[in-house]
Amino acid sequence: MAETDRARARDLGIAVGSLSPGEHNAITDVAGVRVGHTTLIEGSDIRTGVTAIVHDRLTGLTALNAGLAVGNGFGKIVGTTQVSELGVIETPVLLTGTLNTFRVADALVSYMLALPGNEKLETVNPVVAETNDGFLSDLRRRPVTEQHVLAALHGAAAGPVAEGAVGAGTGTGALGFKGGIGTSSRLVELRERGEPVTIGALVQTNFGGTLTVLGTPVPPEADLRQAEPAGNSCVIVLATDAALDSRQLRRVARRTFTGMARAGSNFHGHSGDYALAFSTTPVPGEAGRETFVPVENDLNLLFDAAIDATEESVLNSIFMAETTAGRDGHVLPAVSLDRIRELVSGRSGSRSAS
C-alpha cells in the first residue's frame, strides 16, 4: 500500500544541481504563472483529469514568446505547428489524457472566446498536450467535460502546486511506479542583470525506464514488478522571466530531455515526449521598454537550470504520488520513500550541474 505521507525530493535531502530553487520550488515561482488541476476519479475505471498552466497575457489577443522541442513525436499534442511557425503561444497550456485532448481543446476555445475583450476574436490556437493514462483509466469513455476544463482554468493559482496523482497526472505512471504531475524551479544569475531570473518546470510523467535518483538506479522490487503500462510519454512545460525569443526558447526546451534521461527514461518509440518553453518577459521592441536580453553564453546557465528543474520535477511527480488502482484491477505502486532514503543515504545529497 502507499505511504500516507509523501514527500518531495528536497524533503528527502535530494537536491538536483547546485542552483537554488525559487520560493515554492515550482513553475509558479515565475511571476504571473498559475496552475490549476481538475482531478477526475469515478468508480473503478476513471483516473484522469486536467492541468492548466495560466498567465494573464495568454488571452488570444496577446501572447508570449514560446519554443517547442520534440523528443519523440508519438503524441496527440494540439497547436504545435502554429507555435513552431509564429514562435508564440496565445492560450493557457492544458494537459490531459490522450482521448480527452480534443474535448479539452474545444473547451479551451470556448473559454478563450468568452474572455472579456474577445467578442470579435475569430481565430485562436489552443495548446493542449497529453499522455496515455489508459493503464488505469478507460480512455474510450472520454469523461472530461467543458466544466472540468473550466474548473482547472478558473482554479489556477500562484504559490505551491499540488503534485503526484492529481489533474492530468491522476492516472499516469513513470519508471515502474505511480507518476503524475511534478514541478521545480531554479534561480539563475545572468551577467549585467540586477536580479536573478527564474525558470520553472512542470511535468506530466508517463514513461518507461528505470527510476534513477542522483545516479542510483531504483528498479521496482520484485513483488511490485509488472508489465509496462501503455503510453510512455512525457510533457514538459517550462516558464521563465528571462527575455528570450522563440529560437532561444527552443534551445532551452530541447535540453529538458537530458533531465528526463538523468531520471531514467528509456525513450522508447511509443512515446510522445514534448517540451514547451515560454517567456513572460517581452524582448526589446515588443513592449516598448528596455529589457535585459541574455546573450548566447548566458543560455548555458539556463540550459543547466532547465535540465536540473526537469529532473527534479520528474522525481517530485513520483515521490508525491500514492499507490493508485484503476481499470481491470491494474495498480501502479508508489515508490517507497523509505527505500529512497536508504539508497541515497551515505552519498552526497546533491549533484552539481554539468
- Going 152 to 334 to 184 to 102, the CA torsion angle's sign is negative
User: Mind listing the pLDDT tens digit for each residue in 29-46?
Assistant: 999 999 999 999 999 999
352 has pLDDT over 90: no
In a domain, 49, yes or no: yes
- The H or E element containing residue 263 is helix 246-263
Instruction: Determine the structural domain holding residue 254 and report its residue range.
Output: 10-343
Q: Which residue has better confidence, 285 or 255?
A: 255
Active site residues: 233, 271, 273
DSSP three-state, residue 306: helix
CA distance 221 to 308: 27
In a domain, 352, yes or no: no
- pLDDT for the residue 1: 33
CA distance 172 to 155: 22
In a domain, 184, yes or no: yes
pLDDT band at residue 214, thresholds of 50, 70 and 90? very high
Instruction: Give the three cell numbers for residue 210.
Output: 528505470
Residue of 187, 136, 121, 150 whose CA lies nearest to 50: 150
Q: For 10-14, 112-116, 135-139, 284-288, which range has the lowest pLDDT when averaged over its residues?
A: 284-288
User: Mind listing the pLDDT tens digit for each residue in 227-261?
Assistant: 555 557 999 999 999 999 999 999 999 999 999 99
In a domain, 353, yes or no: no
Residue of 295, 67, 65, 290 whose CA lies nearest to 190: 295
CA distance 175 to 218: 9
- pLDDT for the residue 215: 94
Residue of 171, 159, 96 whose CA lies nearest to 127: 96
* CATH number for position 156: 3.60.70.12
285 has pLDDT over 80: no
Determine the average pLDDT of the residues in 316-326. 98
Mean pLDDT of the chain, nearest integer: 92
User: Mind listing the pLDDT tens digit for each residue in 80-139?
Assistant: 999 999 999 999 999 999 999 999 999 999 999 999 999 999 999 999 999 999 999 999
- pLDDT for the residue 347: 60
Determine the average pLDDT of the residues in 189-215. 92
Residue of 162, 167, 145, 133 whose CA lies nearest to 326: 133
Determine the average pLDDT of the residues in 54-67. 96
- pLDDT for the residue 101: 98
292 has pLDDT over 70: no
- pLDDT for the residue 63: 96
The count of domains in the chain is 1
CA distance 258 to 146: 35
What are the CA-CA distances from residue 309 to residues 75, 190, 256, 316 (Å)? 23, 17, 8, 10
205 has pLDDT over 90: yes
Torsion of CA 349, 352, 353, 354, to 10 degrees: -130
In a domain, 251, yes or no: yes
167 has pLDDT over 90: yes
Q: Are 299 and 3 within 8 A, CB to CB? A: no
Determine the average pLDDT of the residues in 200-223. 93
In a domain, 272, yes or no: yes
Q: For 12-16, 211-215, 227-231, which range has the lowest pLDDT when averaged over its residues?
A: 227-231
In a domain, 310, yes or no: yes
DSSP three-state, residue 34: strand
* pTM higher than the cut 0.85: yes
Q: State the residue for C-alpha cell 505551491.
A: 160
CA distance 129 to 55: 17
Angle at 230 between CA 316 and CA 14, to 5 degrees: 15
Instruction: Give the three cell numbers for residue 286.
Output: 515588443
In a domain, 349, yes or no: no
- Residues of the chain above pLDDT 90, percent: 84
